[in-house]
Amino acid sequence: MGASLSSVSAPTVWAEAMISAAPPPGCPMHQEAPPKVPPPAECPMHRAPPAEVPPPAECPMHQAPPAEASPPPECPMHKADPGPAHQERAYEFVACPMKGSEEKSDIDPSNMMPPPNQTPAPDQPFDLDRIREESTIPRHDSGNKWVYPSEQMFWNAMLRKGWRWREDDLGAQDMTNIIKIHNTNNEQAWQEILKWEAMHAGECPCGPTLKRFGGKAKDFSPRARMRHWMGHVPFNTPVINFLLFLLFLIRYELPFDRHDWIIDRCGREVRYIIDYYDGEINRENYRFSTLDVRPAVDSLGAVWDRMKVTWWRWSS
């Protein structure tokens, strides 16, 4: 029985000794916690955030938006004078597929009066068309084309020049044919001018425009007078007559009309002379006149152009 007691107390004493005994000083639990050392200054977390540097002045975001450049002063939109006043209202009488049947008012809102050139004459024997045809001729300082006169306008113009109607003179259909011949002659004249202007395509790639024109029916050009004179000078020598016949195979009478057309060749004014000679009327295309179109000899450039064309005609 004493043996059993000694065997029980021994482990108890050992356990108490284990509880009361302090751990050795080298144990980690007896060591003081090391002081917290801040990270070195060069550590990214201690660096101040970099100051925001604005982009350089030449950067697109710092440049003011460019001012909208206005068109140059020579542009058509800066021109004060758009051309003849009657042409501004001309499109009111131009027939088109959508507006040809619409009734147009003759009242001008600016003065509440009808335009005189479209008003029938008091003694007019029949009604005339007031529709105006648009040409292919570009009008200077405008995006529009020149517009031809109507039958009524043409009638009134003849009255202003002293013509008076008689029963055996003209009928309504005659006026329609006259307008078609008039418009065809002008289109033909413009095509002849474009042939001359083709020599200056590099100088004026956009092509010429017609600024103004005028009639000079009795002011015959020197060329027309010379042709007429050479065809009517009497020579008694048969040899001279034969040489003149060879030189002037086409003998002209004086032209029945003359026009001077002033065109704009990209900023430069050029004058053309157009002589109208009687010819056989073509009822299919309404060509009636033989036209002699050439630049007026009023500049060295025009003289040179005529010399070149003369050489081409003789050498071709």
User: Does pLDDT of 197 surpass 90?
Assistant: yes
User: Does pLDDT of 262 surpass 90?
Assistant: yes
Rounded percentage of the chain residues whose pLDDT exceeds 70: 52
Q: Residue range 205-209: average pLDDT?
A: 94
pLDDT band, very low/low/confident/very high, at 111 (cuts 50, 70, 90): very low
Q: How many residues in the chain?
A: 316
Token digits of residue 214? 């005028």
Judge whether 56 lies within some domain: no
Judge whether 36 lies within some domain: no
- Strand 145-147 and strand 134-138: pairing? antiparallel
| 228 contacts: CB under 8 Å, gap ≥ 6 | 220, 252, 253, 254
pLDDT band, very low/low/confident/very high, at 14 (cuts 50, 70, 90): very low
pLDDT band, very low/low/confident/very high, at 150 (cuts 50, 70, 90): very high
Strand, coil or helix: 49? coil
- The DSSP letter of residue 14 is H
| 247 contacts: CB under 8 Å, gap ≥ 6 | none
Dist CA 309 CA 64 (whole Å): 55
pLDDT value at residue 45: 62
Dist CA 153 CA 172 (whole Å): 14
pLDDT band, very low/low/confident/very high, at 82 (cuts 50, 70, 90): low
- The DSSP letter of residue 147 is E
User: Does pLDDT of 171 surpass 90?
Assistant: no
- For the CA atoms of the chain, what is the radius of gyration? 50
Dist CA 160 CA 54 (whole Å): 78
CA distances from 5 to 15, 16, 215, 250, 293 (A): 16, 17, 157, 167, 154
pLDDT band, very low/low/confident/very high, at 205 (cuts 50, 70, 90): very high
pLDDT value at residue 37: 66
Dist CA 131 CA 253 (whole Å): 35
Judge whether 10 lies within some domain: no
Q: Residue range 140-168: average pLDDT?
A: 87
Total number of domains constituting the chain: 1
Q: Residue range 246-252: average pLDDT?
A: 54
Judge whether 35 lies within some domain: no
Q: What is the 3-state secondary structure (H, E, C) of 257-274?
A: EEEEEEEECCCCEEEEEE
Q: What is the pLDDT of residues 275-289, one digit of tens each?
A: 888 877 666 666 777
Q: What is the pLDDT of residues 15-57, one digit of tens each?
A: 454 445 555 666 655 666 666 666 666 666 666 666 666 666 6
Kindly report whether the global pTM for this prediction surpasses the value 0.75: no
Strand, coil or helix: 48? coil
Judge whether 184 lies within some domain: yes
Dist CA 147 CA 141 (whole Å): 15
Angle at 257 between CA 139 and CA 230, to 5 degrees: 130
Domain assignment of residue 93, given as a range: 83-101+108-220+255-315
- The gap from C-alpha 116 to its chain's centroid, in whole angstroms, comes to 32
Judge whether 116 lies within some domain: yes
Judge whether 295 lies within some domain: yes
Block residue for tokens 């209202």: 89
